[in-house]
Amino acid sequence: MEIPDASLILEARGLSLSYGARIAVEGVTLELRRGEVLGFLGPNGAGKSTTMRMLTGNLRPDSGTVSLCGIDLWKDPLKAKARLGYLPETPPLYRDMKVDDYLKFAMKLHRAMQDSLPDIKEKCGLQDAGSRLIGSLSKGYQQRVGIAQAILHNPDVIILDEPTSGLDPNQIREIRALIREIGNRCGVILSTHILSEVESLCDRVEILHHGKQVYKGSLEGSRHAVEVGFKHPPSIDELSSIHGISKVEALSDGLFILRHEEKQNPTEALVALAADKGWGLTRIAPSRGSLEAVFAELTREGS
């Protein structure tokens, strides 16, 4: 029998959904551990929001399973949802309610202690907004109320769909700091199409394109990587046997991302070997902002 991994707080297997003939999401598989921030990246319409709706029980997948802390979301929804906080793309706010009343209502729905309200409001920067109508708040403040709603019951898994959209740069910084802080205690999945956000916030990234996962990676490694292109690409084994290269990722069209240890840059050895074996090196660059390259490469239309 498999030993359940206690730190594994969200596990999704083979999530698929289609609207008629159009496949929205196909075979998405995810894992999230406590203390981890997972970035969900993809161009508009890639299926990020759809996937998140399935992860939170708002949309029933055609196939696939989701379990939160080992509880199946569709078999035992109430128990699983008690561990979940969700901010959809459009914050689910009742415009004709006051901020305090709304947050109290959300707390009751989640069976959370009412006395943590001032604390939550302070975290989200809502101290002065308590008696204002939600409909009269600016977009940035509404977004904060939305985030407050997602975290007020100390859930294990927090799913945020574009949490920083509509915020000004200062607010973005505050919200990122907040997400980083929450991410230490529980697990966070956030979707965005801002690459720098993923780079500054997330431990891992998943890129989604046309409803499929096209890239999974740790951001730790991507900070030490080289991007290379060959006319006559060698096999992955050949590349990974080069001294210093820890991991090889093949992109399309003979492009590769080569990860290496911090002090073992393989560039020199690689260039020599490529000339030697006639691989036809077309491109080599330190992969600063490698995520951007990966993203552009994988999600280019028509490729």
**175: DSSP letter:** H
Which of the residues 14 through 73 are near another protein (CB under 8 A)? 53, 56-60
Instruction: Give the C-alpha distances (Å, rounded to integers) separating 22 from 3, 28, 136, 217.
Output: 38, 16, 38, 27
* 35-43, 88-96, 224-232, 244-252 -> range binding another protein (CB under 8 A): 88-96
Nearer to another protein, 68 or 202 (CB): 68
CA 42 to CA 39: how far, in whole Å? 10
**78, 169, 170, 237: residue in contact with another protein (rule CB under 8 A):** 78
- Pull the structure tokens for residue 148: 């407050």
For another protein, the closer CB: 53 or 209: 53
- Mode of pairing for the β-strands spanning 187-192 and 157-161: parallel
Q: Smaller CB distance to another protein: residue 84 or 198?
A: 84
For the CB of residue 128, give the shortest distance to another protein in the complex, in Å: 23
Widest CA span of the chain, in angstroms? Answer: 72
Choose the stretch contacting another protein; rule: CB under 8 A; options: 104-112, 179-187, 247-255, 281-289: 104-112
Distance CA 294, CA 4 (A): 33
Q: Binding residue for another protein (CB under 8 A) from 7, 18, 96, 128? A: 96
Look at strands 281-286 and 225-230 and give their pairing: antiparallel
Q: Which is nearer to another protein, 108 or 300 (CB)?
A: 108
Q: Which of 86, 141, 256, 295 binds another protein (CB under 8 A)?
A: 86
Closer of 57 and 130 to another protein (Cβ)? 57
Task: By CB under 8 A, name the one of 27, 77, 125, 166 that touches another protein.
Answer: 77
E strand map for 34-133:
37-41, 63-68, 71-72, 84-87
Query: Which tokens hold the place of 205?
Result: 């990234």
How many positions of this chain bind another protein (CB under 8 A)?
A: 29
Q: Which is nearer to another protein, 96 or 168 (CB)?
A: 96
- What tokens does 1 get? 């029998």
Task: Name the minimum Å distance from CB 226 to another protein.
Answer: 42
Q: Decide: helix, strand or coil at residue 16.
A: strand
Piece in contact with another protein (CB under 8 A), picked from 24-32, 76-84, 172-180, 248-256: 76-84
Residue placing its CB nearer to another protein in the complex, 88 or 289:
88
Q: Which tokens in the block code for residue 38?
A: 């997972």
Minimum distance from residue 220 beta carbon to another protein (Å): 31
Report whether 38 contacts 197 (CB < 8 A): no
Q: What is the phi/psi pair of residue 67, to 5°?
A: -135, 140
Decide: residue 172, CB within 10 A, 0-12 exposed, 13-18 middle, 19+ buried: middle
Structure tokens at 296: 């552009």
Residues 144 to 203 in contact with another protein, rule: CB under 8 A? 149
Give whichever of 153 and 224 is closer to another protein, judged by the CB atom: 153
Segment 262-281, which members bind another protein (CB under 8 A)?
none
Which residues lie near another protein (CB under 8 A)?
53, 56-60, 77-79, 81-82, 84-86, 88, 90, 92-97, 105-106, 108-111, 149
